[in-house]
Structure 1
């Protein structure tokens, strides 16, 4: 699978070092090349500031370079990670470009080009010569806005003591109160043609070529003529020439320059002029078989009756359906719809709350229209698209509970999903959170089950049981799409982790849909429990060895009861607790006291220790303990040198002590404050040699 930036070279300008490293990593992951020098091979300039030599050179001499910013690279990288086609090969504006590289460059130029007047403050004064309406004040304001100007003011001039942003005053009249005020502020007075040329070049041109004092006596076409040396290339870029040569094999201008050096421009122009002469001959009659046919809207002829959607979601869904040729109505149970009509309900609506659906062709959720738009065709209904939600309580298998997991909780992770399937599986697992199934962002050793996209597993043959059950057609459309390499690598790493380090069941989303189906069936038969096995061959891809009962999950639901959904619980919380007045609280307290038995034993106040108020916060005093044995006066049994020798001997023995408990006790004896009787101190009986005072001083200095 070719990456979107393959064959494209990027170059940064005025980017901080850390940001430059981040951008380079993303560009390389997207298949592009990154060069810090602006060379002939550079196709895209990542702009951090327009006030650099690289930007000025590219704007003046390189019409082939696309000028973009860091936000564009980040956006494309995030879209690519989610599985979107950032090259837009199916878009009508870019589908005719065969080469993926040229198509990606065109997408960058059309969708992610940095505005020429970004962060500029533009004041527009009087314009006498509007050049046949091209430079009228209204047109100039529109061009400024299209080039991402920070602010544009054509009515007033506001004086500032300090201009935080680059600011210019645009006019072709050298006299006036606003012009004089702008001069006093030191702002450049620029001819209106500067805005037109910046808009046509799609880049910021140096306004020193358009100063009004130099352009007063010049004709319109001569103003700023030398600001850009690549106007011919700009015109050729904006008006592509058709050719019989396929676009993939046709060399571009940059390739010719790199190959032939100084003669490249001459050769390129000669080829382009020849192709221009051939252009009229291309206007031949197009065969009827190749004539462009008008595309039919996606939901043409479909009637959709919307029910129970919030107002905002209702409007969004209605605009999408009607924008693609469908008809939308509010659900009315008194009216009988046509047989081709769909009843559309929210995906979080419980099955038991559904209205009568007999007259409708099918009952679908908003997931159905999202899937049709994603796959660009009208799909048949599948388990993704129909209402499925029921309430139950899930109990995990007992073996999981024995390993420290909560018995009524099951932690799951997902892998292999992208696009609309990733959106829908995340929403469905979110509905299951209050029922005992929790989605974790990462796969780790606390995860109980891994849910995998069956459509991403190309190694499983069609004859396998996973492709021959009631949930197989959930993945039939996704199987036809080429998977993103990033998602495939992530899926492989997770499978290897499960095989080598953390053996847990790996199931398809069919297991999730079976939970809802068993719960609905359970309610119909008034049963309180139902069993579902993780290692069932209809949805199990991998599973550790063990009996069937070891991987049994239980669904618990009281017969005839209806548990509220997560949305209902959230909406009902503030209104469940009625306000209680002080009078009601007082009455309740008196009733409790009246029910208290009279003969209840009370604590004896004699045994209570009463302290003065000033001493109540202090801890009680500890009474003095008389010594059990009569304390003898300490007699000196040895000289000072001998005691020091014993101390050094004990210090040397600490290295050979295995447990360290005796050493800690000996160290505690020689602290500045010692607690306990002297008789409790441990005396060493190991003889030691006599140590002189001079020797002890030397040891102390060495230590």
Structure 2
């Protein structure tokens, strides 16, 4: 029996091989799967953790990009490899599968159309063009719309400008070098020529093959506890990273926006998080997107499967310069997949662990704009503010329930021209974005409540007594944040009465100060304090 098993194994050259295909027509994929099964292989439609070989028709798909970044253990081959194995097997000779894998390895630039710009050294230019051609690419001396990749020595020049305008992939020389090192075309998003050279390629791919672990083997109790400790540490690290990004990375994105001065705390402090649950400063607490779930326990998950934007495939449109760089950096660092074109976005549903497609546009974009790209049905349109808010709240927000995550795109109207808006109870990202939203509506944002204020918008259900007294004294309507969201939704001034907040009972004797010039304070001690730091 043992001898018969050995003979059988020798007759099945692909025994132990698990195949997955990408960018192949269904009939071709079916035929390859049947041929592979005859030779002992297993064919899977999904890219699971146990896949050993990826059969590739084109290198622009999410499956290919994921393998390039995360799976150095998978062998990437063209359909011709399977044909060669089958031909040798049919001849009855010994099949050297390893040798056929080496001779049929898919070139890293297979099918790409490459052009260069900014390389003055003729020898270097000739070396790049010849190496690209030797490894599957077609080299173009002139830039045309047929070019897929422009390798730029520096982010300047006519070719660079036209390539960006046409939406071509523009990468640095480091992308070319790292792709040669990896043996696959690595993700272009890590190689923007505008990035500092030492930041380019960081996290683009893994250089070591990960060890395969037995699914049937369980650790002892002590080992399990150690693993739990590591997981807790990773969660703390991820949380710290999100807070750091929320605090440090978004000032560039808000360049030119209203600079709302802090009222209660520093505008990047998270003390607002300590408010009672019912006093949430968000849009009645932003709700997570329906597509968000914990992927724990699923097989084949990538190492960053628990990342904030894991499974989200994102196409950006209309963002430029530092704002675009910041958005892409935060998305990539938190597990998102960047789509470089609408075609890649359409293919996203074939990717492992796919959840949702997103189109990220500037917050000033009109949601009905004719200038938006033609994206696949079901793509959710969000803004760079949505990215910031997801990071701030550490959850994937549903823009349907979060007005500040949606494109605002206002044309200023007379409805808001005479409005002087002040706020209370907002901190951090909400404070800054709501100030900018007021400006987009055509109203004027006031950092402090004044007698001239038209309306006071509160992010909490209970307004501080001194502000309530001041508003009451100057006949200033006090409304909930829902008034603001209604204005943003309808593009019309909402009724103050409909969203009016009940004010706390007020005893005028508790307050001092000139009612015509300053906000009242609750006590003599507070009055002395105001002399030191000014009345809010």
Superposition TM-score, scaled by structure 2 size:
0.36
Larger radius of gyration, structure 1 or 2?
1
TM-score by length of 1: 0.28
